[in-house]
Structures are given as C-alpha cells and as structure tokens.
Amino acid sequence: MKKYLVGVFDSGIGGLTVLSECVRRLPDCDYLYFGDNAHAPYGSRSPEEITSLVRTALRVFDAYGADAAVLACNTATAVCARAMREEFSFPVVGTEPAVKPAAFRCAQALVLATPRTVRSERLSRLVGNFPQCSFTLFAPVGLAGAIERAEGQAGAIDLKEHLPRGKYDGVVLGCTHYIYLRKEISAFYRAPVFDGNRGTAERLAAVLGVAAAREEEAISSGAASGARFPEREEKEAFFAGETGIVGGGLGKTGTADHRAQAEEKTVAFCSETGMTDHRLQKTGTADHKRGSEGADPPAERREENGENKNKCFYKIGKNGKKSGEKWQKTSIFYLGSGKNLNKRLYEQMFANKQ
C-alpha cells in the first residue's frame, strides 16, 4: 500500500491540533508539519502577505513531493485556499470554522476567529447558509499571538482580556490556536465549543481515498499515474536532510541546524485496526532507516486501559513481545521558519492526545 506524504501548515502551533486529528484518522501517512512561527500571528496581516507566506510553505511541501496539503489554519483557508488549489497540483484541504454543527445545536452562537477570518467573505457566506442560528462573529484581540507565545498553556492567558461577555449556547473556535483553550473557553461561556478539526481530517481521508482509487485505476488500465507519489529515495533524501530545500525556501533560518530539528522525531504506530500504541522517540537518520526496513516497535509500550475501545485501540501485552501485528511507522517531521520550534510542546501534543 502506498504511504502518502501529507504537508500540514499553520502560522505556528495551532495546526498541531489538526495534525493530531489527521494522525488519529490516517495513521498510515507520513506528515510534514510546517509552522511558520517566524511570521505568526497571521490574523492581522494583509491578504497579499498571507498568500505569499502560504505559497512559500506549500512550495516546500511540493519540493518534498507531498501528496496533499492541509491548511490547518482558518485564516489561510479564508484568504487563499482557492488560489493555492489553482497553483499546486496536489489537493489542498482547508480548515473552516465549525459553523454547521453549531447551527444544528444552538440558537445563539459565538464565532471566535482572527480579524482576517472574521472579515472574510467566506465566513459571511458560511454563516449565511444557516439562518436558523444567530451567529455573532468576534475577533479576540491578540489571542492567537498570546497562545503562540504561551505555547498553548492556558494558565498564562487571562481570557477576560480577550473574550467578549455575553450569553451564548455554543462557541465556534474558528482559529486552530484557540483549540488549546477549548476547556477554558467552554467554562468561560458555560457552553459547548465546536471546532472543525475532525471535519478537516475526514476531508483529507476522502481526498486521499480518491487519489488511491485513481492510482489503482491507472495501474489496472496500464496508464501512468498523474498523481505525485514520493519515491522511497526521495523520502530518504528528506529524512536524511540531504536536500537544501528547507534552507533554500525559507532563507536564513532553514539551516542545517533547522534541518536537524526537523529530523528529530518520529511517532510509531501499528496495527490494521488502528493505533495501538505510540511513543515519540528521538531518532536520527540511522534509526529511521532501520525503522523503514522493519525494525521492532519501540520497546516501551503502553497498555491500553479500555477507555479508548471505541477508537479501535486494542491491548498490547506488557511483555513487549510482538503479537503478530504489522507495525507501521507514522513519521512526522517538523519544519518552521523561526528558531523557536518547541520540541517539547510538539511532543506533548501527541503524548496528551493519544
């Protein structure tokens, strides 16, 4: 089975929440995560600037032969998803505020998003499709930037300074950064919150499913595939950090040091039924290569306690022995445009989520 390479993009750490959902839904893909942390936040930038920054990131994905890109950023989606779809040959999946589910459950809903998203035609149109719910659109001043600086830690942020007062029976988190404060925002309004991450992951799955069907069709009809699938050598070139693309694309910050950061982590998953185990492990090229040649799964395993039964997890013995399942690796490589890619945060995101 083909292993897809998916590029996930955000202005900074917000898109990690989307990446996490994508990994949960599609554990058999490899991922590049690009947080444009040198230019975050995007929310008040001009559409031209945002378009140009997103283009730079998608060019990096393209250079690595990504099969699809996810704009894990509502702002980027609102501003330039359509233009990016025209410019790039791979599918570009966007992230949109979860207005639809809120419309079916609420009478008065608040939509929180960046200034650029709130002003976008796209959001007005979306909201206009659901007249049964009264939506209030609001752009919390400086909230995405504060979350980026606080590395997603709610304790460092005083919501009273950012959020409007009011009575709402639902709150839409229309910025992937806000998802870090989902519990706190829900408590602030005593109302359920909605985000679009699951929908984005489903859309990615559908898009890759279509690509797979086309590929099969092309193989069975003997035609050459038009889809761009990375060859093993290409991937290994990436894993080994042998290309200068990150540096070339992103200038000064994309140095060897940067590539070293990008190479550092992989997440291991296994099974036919879903994820059964994961552990972030530090790995270099050698480890990775070993991994791709069928290395054993990480020695430390976590026994599932049953809480995740409905997510297709299943038990793995504590003895650390292989139980016959096929181990697969989901590799995630983190790229950024600034120096402060926070490895600890990225690791925690997965440690907490799974």
175 is catalytic: yes
C-alpha to C-alpha distance for 331 and 323, rounded to whole angstroms: 22
DSSP 319: T
Stretch that binds ligand DGL, among 7-15, 56-64, 119-127, 295-303 (CB under 6 A): 7-15
Show the site string, 120-159: x = touches ligand DGL by CB under 6 A, - = not.
------------------------x---------------
Task: With H, G, I as helix, E, B as strand and everything else as coil, classify residue 167.
Answer: coil
Stretch that binds ligand DGL, among 52-60, 79-87, 170-178, 284-292 (CB under 6 A): 170-178
Smallest separation (angstroms) from ligand DGL to the CB of 167: 25
* 39 contacts 337 by C-beta, under 8 angstroms: yes
195 lies in the binding site for ligand DGL (CB under 6 A)? no
Residue 228 or 353: the one with the smaller Cβ distance to ligand DGL is 353
User: 324: alpha, beta or left, given left = phi > 0 and alpha = psi -120 to 50?
Assistant: left
96 lies in the binding site for ligand DGL (CB under 6 A)? no
* 8 contacts 72 by C-beta, under 8 angstroms: yes
Ranges within 55-74 binding ligand DGL (CB under 6 A): 73-74
Out of 8, 23, 40, 54, name the contact with ligand DGL by CB under 6 A.
40
176 lies in the binding site for ligand DGL (CB under 6 A)? yes
175 lies in the binding site for ligand DGL (CB under 6 A)? yes
* 277 contacts 270 by C-beta, under 8 angstroms: yes
Among 29, 80, 106, 175, the one annotated catalytic: 175
C-alpha to C-alpha distance for 96 and 198, rounded to whole angstroms: 11
Residue 168 or 180: the one with the smaller Cβ distance to ligand DGL is 180
C-alpha to C-alpha distance for 43 and 135, rounded to whole angstroms: 20
Strands 280-282 and 265-270: antiparallel
Ranges within 198-257 binding ligand DGL (CB under 6 A): none
Smallest separation (angstroms) from ligand DGL to the CB of 275: 25
Smallest separation (angstroms) from ligand DGL to the CB of 53: 10
Stretch that binds ligand DGL, among 57-65, 174-182, 211-219, 260-268 (CB under 6 A): 174-182
Kindly state the helix (H) or strand (E) to which residue 333 belongs, with its residue range: strand 332-336
Backbone torsions φ then ψ of 125, nearest 5 degrees: -65, -45
Out of 7, 8, 10, 138, name the contact with ligand DGL by CB under 6 A.
10
Among 29, 73, 80, 133, the one annotated catalytic: 73
Q: Which residues pair with 137 in a beta bridge?
A: 111
Q: Which residues contact 186 (CB under 8 A, 6 or more apart)?
A: 171, 192, 193
C-alpha to C-alpha distance for 176 and 15, rounded to whole angstroms: 6
Smallest separation (angstroms) from ligand DGL to the CB of 118: 10
C-alpha to C-alpha distance for 242 and 239, rounded to whole angstroms: 8
Kindly state the helix (H) or strand (E) to which residue 204 belongs, with its residue range: helix 197-220
Smallest separation (angstroms) from ligand DGL to the CB of 144: 4
Supply the residues annotated as catalytic: 73, 175
Name the residues that contact ligand DGL, by CB under 6 A.
10-11, 14, 40-43, 73-75, 114, 117, 144, 175-177
